[in-house]
């Protein structure tokens, strides 16, 4: 698991780049870009399955998608997101994390401060990515966490706990930039932000969001680097027109 040492080495030196993938083809594309990590997120519940949150995602769902991504990503480390209720106890968490590794993941991500589970996994030499701030598996609504002093202090303490436990990185989701900066400055663990400002050691986005496929999901932190929604619709419209007038298939695309 050499990759986690490389991630730790980058703290304060090079920004860590993480994106999600849920299938083989996207994993193949990302594998050729040189990003640091591919996260098979339980966000697939929203962007693949069409749910309003991540709470319906099962271990079977996650393992299916991890296997698909592992077939496409031959060089980029893959992190599997432990779905809701998959690590309620240390024993259950260890058993499910081992399934992730067998499916092709190189490590797992765990939401929240779960010291017994995280300790058991790290003791078993399974790399763990932590996750503090807004926790989709537990949140009733998605909104910024840590604006209130007591909430900010709790998130800060959780981050310190994860740092002591030995996670190789931690996601800071939807928290004020000044809190993310404070955490980043006080932990040895690299921080990876999503809606947490520019002072984190790295950034992660859901691939569907940054490519402009999902136009309904519009949180402030998402920057669209492409408009694939329009590209796909334009391509389909062209296909429809060509088929309708008999232009496709032409000689070039026909067997004889």
Which residues does the annotation mark as catalytic? 173
Residue 1: band (very low, low, confident or very high) from pLDDT cuts 50, 70, 90: low
Q: Give the chain's domains with CATH numbers.
A: 3-225 (3.20.20.60), 227-256 (no CATH)
Cα–Cα distance, 132 to 193 (Å, whole number)? 10
Cα 174 from Cα 178, distance rounded (Å):
12
Q: 135-179 pLDDT, tens per residue?
A: 999 988 888 999 999 999 999 999 999 999 999 999 999 999 999
107-134 pLDDT per residue, tens: 999 999 999 999 999 999 999 999 999 9
Task: Give the pLDDT band (50/70/90) at residue 214.
Answer: confident
């Amino acid at each position: 698991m050499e990759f986690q040492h490389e991630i730790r080495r980058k703290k304060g030196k090079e920004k860590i780049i993480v994106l999600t993938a849920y299938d083989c083809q996207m994993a193949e594309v990302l594998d050729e870009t040189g990003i640091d990590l591919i996260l098979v997120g339980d966000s697939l519940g929203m962007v693949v399955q069409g749910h309003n949150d991540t709470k319906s995602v099962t271990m079977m769902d996650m393992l299916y998608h991890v296997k698909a991504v592992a077939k496409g990503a031959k060089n980029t480390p893959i992190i599997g997101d432990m779905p809701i209720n998959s690590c309620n106890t240390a024993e259950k968490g260890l058993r499910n994390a081992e399934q992730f590794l067998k499916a092709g993941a190189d490590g797992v991500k765990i939401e929240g401060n779960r010291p017994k589970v995280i300790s058991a996994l790290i003791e078993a030499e399974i790399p763990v990515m932590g996750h503090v701030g807004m926790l989709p598996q537990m949140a009733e609504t998605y909104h910024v966490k840590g604006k209130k002093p007591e909430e900010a202090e709790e998130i800060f303490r959780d981050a310190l706990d994860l740092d002591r436990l030995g996670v190789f990185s931690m996601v800071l989701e939807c928290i004020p930039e000044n809190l993310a900066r404070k955490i980043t400055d006080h932990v040895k663990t690299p921080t990876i932000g999503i809606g947490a400002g520019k002072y984190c050691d790295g950034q992660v986005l859901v691939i569907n969001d940054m490519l402009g496929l999902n136009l309904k999901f519009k949180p402030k932190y998402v920057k669209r680097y492409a408009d694939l929604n329009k590209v796909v619709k334009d391509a389909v419209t062209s296909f429809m027109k060509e088929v309708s007038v008999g232009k496709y298939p032409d000689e070039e695309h026909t067997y004889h």
